[in-house]
């Protein structure tokens, strides 16, 4: 089957429903306590990044798996509401939609149980169905919240078709298949992931640069290391490292800032292919900074109209 529309950004990745309870403290083993507030949010690194790219104006598609249950139905509606093409999002009768059950205390502590559920069933079959769309896309974006082999396969498919790839090795895993580096045009990680992957500290600017160079040597086209409120570092082999400071903002909730940054980076790579990577990262930092000024994950992600015109 051929798709007529060429997508700017295709994400092969996860969808999770966040079940968030606020309580005075964390319950002890065997204990039941009363919480104050409860809300259901849309999360999962793959879907977060896809939604951020879509809100900036990218034509996006998601390749994912949810359960044939009410959370799965809700997630499909969320993609529709955000203008994300969900024709490659399957609903499996064999597993529940991925969930993150989150308890947040008034003091800001949290305890989280994640069940990957249907995300773990995303396989070659679904990728095969999406192949024509992947082949004609501008950018393919993957993370590690689905089976690593599925992400690897998606990156391979994209590279074979000369589609630009972005890989975000999150959540971090120590023994990453070396092919991930070679298949990444841009390898974008945070400092924790850089440390785990290189076995070196990445706390200071010098350490982060050394870790980034090590990742670059493993075969990526470029490396971006995000450093939270300190901004990010961009490395390309021939060039000196570029350090882009973060936009100073009154941070309210930094959850999901990394996904906002990566979704924005994918948007710029697809829509402004001539722009320097450092400039794209600078702009993605502005987008992510806007996201930390509001509560929640996807609920905090800015739309194009919320942002300064100079970013477009």
Instruction: List interacting residues with ligand NAG (CB under 6 A).
Output: 170-172, 190-193, 228
Nearer to ligand NAG, 131 or 172 (CB): 172
For the CB of residue 104, give the shortest distance to ligand ATP in the complex, in Å.
14
Burial class (CB in 10 A: 0-12, 13-18, 19+), 131: middle
171, interface contact from ligand ATP, ligand NAG, none, CB < 5-8 Å by kind: ligand NAG
**Which two three-digit tokens encode residue 145?**
């919240």
Nearer to ligand ATP, 238 or 250 (CB): 250
133, interface contact from ligand NAG, ligand ATP, none, CB < 5-8 Å by kind: none
Q: Which of 238, 184, 233, 244 is nearest to 209 (CA)?
A: 233
Candidate list 8, 18, 69, 259, residue with the active-site label:
259
For the CB of residue 94, give the shortest distance to ligand NAG in the complex, in Å.
27
Continuous H helices in the chain: 45-55, 70-81, 124-136, 148-160, 179-182, 191-198, 205-217, 257-271, 277-291
285, interface contact from ligand ATP, ligand NAG, none, CB < 5-8 Å by kind: ligand ATP
100, interface contact from ligand NAG, ligand ATP, none, CB < 5-8 Å by kind: none
List residues bridging with 103 in a β-sheet: 21, 111
Instruction: Quote the CA–CA distance of 212 and 143 in Å, as a whole number.
Output: 18
For the CB of residue 222, give the shortest distance to ligand NAG in the complex, in Å.
19
Concatenated DSSP letters for 213-251?
HHHHHTT-SEEEEE-GGG-EEEEETTSPPEEEPPPP---
42, interface contact from ligand NAG, ligand ATP, none, CB < 5-8 Å by kind: none
For the CB of residue 228, give the shortest distance to ligand ATP in the complex, in Å.
4
Active site residue 259: yes
For the CB of residue 192, give the shortest distance to ligand NAG in the complex, in Å.
4
Q: 259 CB contacts (<8 Å, ≥6 apart)?
A: 45, 48, 49, 52, 297
Chain residues in the site for ligand ATP (CB under 6 A)? 190, 226-229, 231-232, 246-247, 249, 251, 254-259, 261, 285, 288-289, 292
Cis (ω within 30 of 0) for the bond into 171?
yes
Would you please indicate which residues are annotated as catalytic (active-site) residues? 259
């Amino acid at each position: 089957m051929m798709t007529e529309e060429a997508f700017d950004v295709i994400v092969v990745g996860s969808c999770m429903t966040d079940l968030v309870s606020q309580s005075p403290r964390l319950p002890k083993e065997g204990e039941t306590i009363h919480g104050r507030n409860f809300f259901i949010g849309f999360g999962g690194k793959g879907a977060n990044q896809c939604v951020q790219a879509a809100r900036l104006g990218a034509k996006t598609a998601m390749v994912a798996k949810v359960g044939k249950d009410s959370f799965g139905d809700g997630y499909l509606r969320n993609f529709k509401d955000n203008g994300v093409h969900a024709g490659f999002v399957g609903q499996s009768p064999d597993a529940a939609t991925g969930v993150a059950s989150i308890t947040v205390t008034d003091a800001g502590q949290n305890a989280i149980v994640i069940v990957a559920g249907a995300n773990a069933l995303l396989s070659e079959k679904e990728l095969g169905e999406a192949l024509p769309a992947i082949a004609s896309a501008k950018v393919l974006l993957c993370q590690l919240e689905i089976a690593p082999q599925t992400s690897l396969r998606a990156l391979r498919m994209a590279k074979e078709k000369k589609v630009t790839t972005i890989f975000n090795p999150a959540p971090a895993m120590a023994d990453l298949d070396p092919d991930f580096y070679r298949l990444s045009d841009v390898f974008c990680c945070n400092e924790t992931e850089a440390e785990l992957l290189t076995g070196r500290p990445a706390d200071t600017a010098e350490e982060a640069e050394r870790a980034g160079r090590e990742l670059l040597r493993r075969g990526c086209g470029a490396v971006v290391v995000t450093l939270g409120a300190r901004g990010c570092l961009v490395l390309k082999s021939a060039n000196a490292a570029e350090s882009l400071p973060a936009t100073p903002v009154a941070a309210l909730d930094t959850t999901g800032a990394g996904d906002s940054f990566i979704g924005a980076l994918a948007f710029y790579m697809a829509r402004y292919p001539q722009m320097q990577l450092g400039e794209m990262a600078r702009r993605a930092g502005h987008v992510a900074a806007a996201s930390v000024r509001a509560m929640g994950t996807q609920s905090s992600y800015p739309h194009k109209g919320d942002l300064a015109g100079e970013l477009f």
